[in-house]
Structure 1
Amino acid sequence: MTATLSVQNILQRFLPGQPLDSHRRKVCARLTACRTARMGGMEMHCDHCQTRSICYYGCRDRHCPQCQGRTTAQWSARQRSLLLPVPYFHLVFTLPHTLNGWIQIHPEVIYRCLFAAAWDTLSQFGRNTRHLGGELGMTAVLHTWGQNLSRHVHVHCLVPGGVLTDTGDWNKAKNDYLFPVRALSRRFRGRMVSLLRTSANAGDLHRVTHSVEIDDVLNRLMHQEWVVYTRHCLNQAESVVDYLARYTHRIAISNGRLLSMDGDRVAFRYKDYRDDSRIKTQWLEGQEFVRRFLMHILPKGFMRIRHFGYLSNRTRRRKLAVIRHCLSQPPQLEATTERPTSQRCWPCPHCDDGLVRMIRQVPRFRTVVVPTG
């Protein structure tokens, strides 16, 4: 079973009986139907060995471990045209586990505040003339999990090492850590608590029913040390995109980390960062595995990859042209993801000598419920 074990198998076995809202029910339906007859597909024919086979479509859901490879490749191709010939910095802003209860009932509010607090923190430091004195750019990716599938909400940020000034000049980063980590942590803590208090006053945290709980939690948060991780990342353009792509379309757990399913228990591999990043094995009851997996399904329509500053979609083309002029880099065209007009073909998996082409569409298989009585 180890060779074929997947998140899809586990959901098919242990999902029945789990309480699901309509959004999670639809997501799980797509994940369990992925690359099966329920999705439909294509009948393929090899021009060499004459073998016919059926290839079923993927669900393309962003939570599906089987559908992220192609999406990651397409995203990477687009991002390569946006890279600058400068060092990049990787920063991670992490929320304390004290907020896990609020995240459970108001995920969209907390995630939105996290993005805003991280960007406000970095942009304020970038605008400070003592540091750089201009506008930063940032690509941020939300992750909600730890290696053992527990709730661990944080945002990964990739920041080019420099700012665009108001006069149209480029100021490069002055050191190998971008900004002081302790100062970043305290600014991030204050900004996040302020945004949460504003959200509470606006009624966005209406599911927190105890009136004194909000003040108690926020006051407790201000007395905790918050974690901001920063490191000088990479200086080669191609490596930067590959590095970031590992984070952008990562899901809570990939099929490659699953080890075995023994009875009602599931084993998977994880990295224990508190123990010198040693690789360990975690055993969970099947129901608990599914419960933890469902925790990390994002709210419907929530954007987990966002661009800020001179990398924001609205002004990116114009501002990157100015920066490239300052850096004497030739202008580059943004990559597109248009599909080729020619008929697609692939190497034959059976004979390795021919090419397989689609000869017909296979319609979706729909289960017909026969009424009884």
Structure 2
Amino acid sequence: METINKRNQGVELSTILDYQKEFILEGKTLCADQKKAYRDILHCRTSAMGSHSLSCDSCSSVKVCYNSCRNRHCPKCQYIKQQLWVEKLRCRLLPIRYFHVVFTIPEFLRPLFYINQRFCYNILFECSAKAIKKTALNPSFLGVESGCLSVLHTWGQSLNYHPHIHMLVPAGGLDSEGMEWIHANKKFFVPIKALSAIFRGVFMERLMEGLASKQLKIPEKQKGLFEDTKSLKNRAYEKQWNVYIKKTFKGANQVVSYLGRYTHRVAISNSRILATDGQTVRFRWKDYRDGKSKVMILECSEFVRRFMQHILPSGFYKIRYYGILASTNSALKMDECFRLLKKTRLISFYQGLSTYEVLREIFGDEMFRCPCCKSGKMIFGIGEEKGEGP
């Protein structure tokens, strides 16, 4: 019996976590969600996660494969999820242009966000979507019911803590009576400064409510700021908040192609990690100030600390839909949008397929060819459709 799916020979995130496990897991620096993610990534595709077997349908040879951890923060467990989600989204999106909008928060709010992640991430989602809705509905701009697909990211290229929302917004929407689809102009349907001001206003209103009702823990070093309402408002309104438009997508296929590389990212992929000697880590990062790729060197402990900042609370949804794209509108308003655009909704290619059939479609038959007889196919043992695949 042959064993496959051992650890790669190259440097991986799990390699670095392994160097630090005695200090991290025995210490008190991680919360329960972070510890679980740490252990899952460390043990992904090893005997600690159990195994399943593949049997040749021709010569009956057997391979044992270690299961994946399926943790959403693991860089080795996102590919299948990404492919299935992208295919489902391809059938869901309207076949029109899309704007890519990014909402960020001022740096002074980051410590508050980190110790109140569930609450603060929720209002970041809520307020950015509300800002889009209010501006789209305004008859001075476009006067339509729009929607958006929002994705939360919490990191920058150097793994620093930088919560922000990436949003896809249809270039248009339904008129007030729901009888006509109105297209937006080529740039955007609202001046970006107006959108930024509205976002800042609705966000600060919601944040002040949370502070007044004592739903938020206040960072020790910022107590004076957050306990003084006037000072907090002055600090928040002294500068324009960063909301900006990135490139425009011409249609659903281009959007899906982009999202396939983007939405299921983790803080750092294994391909960006160059080397480690157990003391330091070298990894690639892109400096957006000059647009150049560079190499950063961090102590292993600092690298792990930065990575663990981006573990989300359990059960927290980092991809959300609003307005006409929301699930509650899928059966009615979206059907009406497709009708008005004179387009037909598609059905996911993977719908109704078993796990094995999905894997064959994604990886191809060669992935499952028997290494012994070269002609048979390796299939899952009875009742063993487990793990993320080979």
TM exceeds 0.5?
yes
1:66–1:341 Cα change, 3 Å: closer
Q: Within 2, Cα distance between the matches of 1:272 and 1:342?
A: 41
2:243 corresponds to 1:221: no
Is 1:314 the counterpart of 2:322? The answer is no
Aligned to 2:53: 43
In the TM superposition, residue 326 of structure 1 has moved relative to its aligned partner by 0.9
Please tell me whether the aligned partners of residues 368 and 379 of structure 2 are also in contact (alpha carbons under 8 angstroms).
Answer: no
Q: Deviations for 1:184-208, whole angstroms, at most 9, x for unmatched residues?
A: 2222122222211111011111344
Task: Find the aligned partners of 2:292 and 2:370 in 1 and give their Cα distance.
Answer: 37
- Aligned twin of 1:330: 344
Contact 2:286 2:292 in 1 (8 A): yes
Instruction: Tell me what 1:64 maps to.
Output: 74
Is 1:31–1:61's contact at 8 Å kept on the other side of the alignment? yes
Give structure 2 stretches of 5+ with no counterpart: 1-6, 361-366
- Provide the residue aligned with 2:15 in structure 1: 9
**Alignment deviations for residues 47-80 of structure 1 (CA, whole Å, 9 cap, x no partner):** 5676532111111111010000000001011111
Kindly provide the amino acid, as one letter, of the partner of residue 101 in structure 1: P
CA–CA separation in structure 2 for the residues paired with 1:213 and 1:96: 14
- Provide the C-alpha distance between the structure 2 equivalents of 1:223 and 1:316, rounded to a whole number of angstroms: 40
CA gap 1:150/1:331 in 2 versus in 1, 3 angstroms? closer
Partner SS, residue 99 of structure 1:
helix
Q: Any residues of structure 2 matched to 1:283-302 within 5 Å, and which?
A: 283-302=297-316
Aligned to 1:76: 86
CA 1:16–1:349 in structure 2 vs 1: closer, same or farther (change >3 Å)? farther
Which segment is superposed worse, 150-159 or 22-31?
A: 22-31
Shift of 1:124: 0.7
Structure 1 residues 183 and 327, CA gap change in structure 2 (3 angstroms): same
How far apart, CA to CA, are the structure 1 residues paired with 2:143 and 2:380? 56
SS at 1:354 equivalent: coil
State the alpha-carbon separation in 1 of the partners of residues 46 and 112 from structure 2.
37
Residue identity opposite 2:369 in structure 1: C
How far apart are residue 290 of structure 1 and its match?
0.5
Q: Do 1:92 and 1:228's aligned partners in 2 also have CA atoms closer than 8 Å?
A: yes
Q: Could you say if the C-alpha distance between residues 226 and 342 of structure 1 is closer, same or farther in structure 2, counting changes exceeding 3 Å?
A: closer
Cα gap change, 1:217/1:2 in structure 2, threshold over 3 Å: closer, same or farther? farther
CA contact (8 A) 1:44 1:356 kept: yes
Structure 2: distance between partners of 1:77 and 1:240: 12
Query: Residue 185 of structure 2: SS of its match in structure 1?
Result: coil
Which amino acid is the alignment partner of residue 316 of structure 1?
A: S
- CA drift at 1:294: 0.5
Q: CA deviation at 1:348?
A: 2.6
Question: Which range moves more in the overlay, 298-307 or 233-242?
Answer: 233-242
CA contact (8 A) 1:92 1:154 kept: yes
**What is the Cα deviation at residue 338 of structure 1?**
4.2
Counterpart CA distance in 1 for 2:189 and 2:289 is: 25
Q: Distance in 1 between matches of 2:196 and 2:246?
A: 14
The number of aligned residues is 362
| Per-residue deviation, residues 230-266 of structure 1 (Å, max 9, x unmatched) | 1342213222112123221111000010000024000
**Residue 99 (structure 1) aligned to one of 103, 106, 109:** 109
Residue matched to 2:248: 233
1:1-373 to 2 correspondences below 5 Å: 3-18=9-24, 19-47=29-57, 51-168=61-178, 169-208=180-219, 212-214=224-226, 215=229, 216-275=231-290, 277-333=291-347, 337-340=351-354, 346-348=367-369, 350=371, 353-359=375-381
- The code of the aligned residue for 1:238 comes to N
**1:85 deviation in Å?**
2.1
CA spacing shift, 1:221–1:3, aligned 2, 3 Å? farther
Report the Cα offset of residue 341 of structure 1: 8.2
**Deviations along 1:99-139, whole A, 9 cap, x unmatched?**
11112211112111111111111111100112211211100
Q: Which amino acid aligns with 1:130?
A: S
TM-score in terms of structure 1 length: 0.90
TM-score (normalizing by structure 2): 0.86
Q: CA RMSD in A?
A: 2.4
Contact 2:115 2:217 in 1 (8 A): no
- 8 A contact 2:16–2:278 mirrored in 1: no
Contact 1:147 1:271 survives alignment (8 Å): yes
The offset of 1:359, in angstroms, is: 3.8
Give 3-state SS (helix, strand or coil) of 1:249's partner: coil
How big is the shift at 1:21?
A: 1.7
Which sits farther off after the overlay, 65-74 or 92-101?
92-101
**Residues 342 and 297 (structure 1), Cα distance of their counterparts in 2 relative to 1, 3 Å cut:** closer
Gap regions ≥5 residues in structure 1: 365-373
User: What one-letter code is carried by the residue in structure 1 that aligns with 2:257?
Assistant: D
